[in-house]
């Protein structure tokens, strides 16, 4: 069934093996990619803005750390800052929180996914990529319950297969793909009506 207004955002959860995966994925997206990408990458609390700066240098699409009360726009990637949960408020703006870790992580993928599901409903694409543990599974289930699309990296293709495997056990994904096929899928989904 066609979506009247298409998708509004893509949220991504990633952990172990994430930097190389994100370099390849984001590096293959055009500068004018029409959707915002909001990402939680598990990083150590002391990490600075290094990852955002590194990715911004090697990608055509703009990559930055998310700011409090920022309204996400297309052609931009928003990374959760170290030691902050990244959330989407009901009005679609980004929020940051120092609430306790969820799934032993801050930032937590589940926090981003669950808040984004409430804000964007069926206009959301949720993506679980390489990583250890189960962070993202509960949030991906919420995205599906709200009518969004679930995408999971093929566990055999992931540097760490736990997060993808747990996501597949939690929901029936709409797509299970190798990381090399993600840019093409994202471009296809961004053109959905």
Q: Which one, of 57, 2, 10, 4, lies nearest residue 33 by Cα?
A: 10
Q: Which of 42, 85, 157, 179 is catalytic?
A: 42
Q: What are phi and psi of 160, to 5 degrees?
A: -135, 125
Task: Name, in order, each residue with C-beta under 8 angstroms of 164's C-beta and a sequence gap of 6 or more.
Answer: 128, 129, 130, 131, 152, 153, 154, 155, 158
Residue-by-residue DSSP string for 9-20: EEEEEE-TTHHH
Tokens 């993928």 -> residue: 109
Catalytic one of 135, 137, 157, 161: 135
Closest CA to 119 of 99, 96, 147: 147
Is 15 known to be catalytic?
Answer: yes
Neighbours of 127 (CB within 10 A): 30
Known catalytic residues are 15, 42, 135
């Amino acid at each position: 069934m066609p979506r009247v207004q298409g998708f509004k955002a893509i949220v991504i959860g990633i952990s172990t093996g994430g930097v190389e995966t994100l370099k390849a994925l984001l590096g293959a997206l055009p500068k004018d990619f029409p959707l915002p990408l909001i990402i939680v990458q598990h990083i150590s609390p002391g990490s600075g803005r290094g990852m955002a700066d590194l990715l911004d240098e090697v990608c055509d699409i703009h990559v930055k750390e998310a700011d409090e009360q920022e309204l996400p726009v297309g052609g931009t990637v928003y990374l959760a800052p170290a030691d902050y949960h990244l959330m989407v408020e009901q009005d679609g703006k980004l929020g940051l929180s120092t609430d306790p870790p969820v799934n032993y992580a801050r930032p937590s993928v589940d926090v981003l996914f669950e808040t984004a599901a409430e804000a964007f409903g069926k206009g959301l694409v949720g993506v679980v990529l390489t990583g250890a543990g189960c962070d993202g599974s509960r949030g991906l289930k919420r995205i599906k319950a709200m009518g969004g699309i679930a995408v999971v990296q093929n566990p055999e293709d992931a540097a760490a297969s736990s997060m993808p495997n747990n996501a597949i056990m939690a929901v029936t994904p709409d797509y299970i793909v190798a990381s090399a096929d993600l840019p093409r899928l994202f471009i296809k989904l961004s053109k959905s009506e």
